[in-house]
Chains A and B, each alone.
Chain A
Amino acid sequence: MPRPDTFSRLLRQFAQALLFAFMLAGLPAHAGEAAPAADDPVLEKRVTELSELLRCLVCQNQTIADSHADLAIDLKKQIREKLEAGESDKQIVDYMVARYGDFVLYKPPVKATTMILWIGPFVLLAGGLSLLFFKLRKRMRQAQAGETLTDDEQRQAAALLQDGPGGKGAAR
């Protein structure tokens, strides 16, 4: 029975191929990627955290952490250098805002000019809900008030029900 033998050989070959593939994949990653990323994982984590707060102005709906634009890469480099120099997160964010304006912040700051942005949706929601509330209340009142008809209206309704719009005979 050659079967188990062939199987184990195949398995070994497969494992070797896999190992080889990993080695190949590993090589360029070490050769081509930026070196500083591996140096200090704690620093790198802070760089990433800060980059996630900042908008890439080239591709405006991405943070500079997500973006591969040249400017984003330069700014990440700048952040890394400033962190290495011991600057605080706030100092770095202020540095970016001084150059690129509030728009660079992915989360806009709460201040007079951005108030409409922050409370606008809630104002609209409150407006919509109160409109709905008053409409519904009005409709309920109308429904309650309309429960009883005056004698005149009763007669009118009876006449309409008897005759129908198509005249005599049409009701059948």
Chain B
Amino acid sequence: MGRYLIPLGLFVVLVGFLAVGLNLNPRELPSPLIDKPAPAFKVPQLHALDKTIARDDLKGKVWLLNVWASWCVSCRQEHPVLVELAKSNAVPIYGLNYKDQREAGLAWLNQHGNPYVISAFDQDGRVGIDFGVYGVPETFLIDKNGIIRYKHTGPVTPDAVQNLILPKVKELNAAS
């Protein structure tokens, strides 16, 4: 009896490892930027190219940076969630329009609604690289001192908003 239990046990362990491996999301990588200052940037605004937006303009408030593009399919999936979140006024959302055509980006916002206070226009993707963006959409939560506190890779889900982002926003707003 015992001699059969050992292979059976090994098999169960193997199945356990495989099950965990299958359920891990290989696209979700820990960002080295968590708890580090957000990279400095200063780029034109999507809606008004003559005006700029910079990281330091946003010091003193807790804000979300959502990296999006009109060519990005999963952005469409998360977009209603962001529009909803913007309506609730829980946290200001700033967009980073990543490697996009300006007209396409503007048209996209007209069509699907604009949840962003301001969208930064990162045409050549430099700001994206500084933020370690490798798959749009990505969302960063940045605190009052300009420190990145949380990163969400992939489309933001209502579940992530309720259980991860909003509690962290509350916590960061309470901190000095």
Taking Cβ atoms with an 8 Å cutoff, the residues of A that contact B are 57-58, 60, 70-71, 74-75, 78, 97-103
Contacts and interface: CB of A to CB of B under 8 A. Distances in A.
A99 B126 CA distance: 12
Nearest to A58: B134
27 contacts: A57-B29, A58-B134, A58-B135, A60-B26, A70-B99, A70-B125, A71-B125, A74-B124, A74-B125, A74-B129, A75-B129, A78-B129, A97-B32, A98-B32, A99-B32, A99-B33, A99-B129, A99-B130, A99-B132, A100-B29, A100-B32, A100-B134, A101-B29, A101-B31, A101-B32, A101-B132, A102-B32
Contacts of B129: 74-75, 78, 99
B68 interface: no
Top-7 shortest CB links A-B: A57-B134, A99-B132, A101-B32, A100-B132, A103-B29, A74-B125, A71-B134
Contacts of A100: 29, 32, 132, 134
Interface string B124-141: 110001111011000000
Contacts of A101: 29-32, 132
Given A74-B125, A98-B32, 16 more contacts: A57-B29, A58-B134, A70-B99, A70-B125, A71-B134, A74-B124, A75-B129, A97-B32, A99-B32, A99-B129, A100-B29, A100-B32, A100-B132, A100-B134, A101-B29, A102-B32
Interface of B: 26, 29-33, 99, 124-125, 129-132, 134-135
Contacts of B130: 99
Contacts, number: 34
Which secondary structure dominates where chain A touches chain B? helix
Nearest to B132: A99
A97 B32 CA distance: 8
Nearest to B36: A98
Nearest to B130: A99
Contacts of A74: 124-125, 129
B28 to A, nearest CB: 11
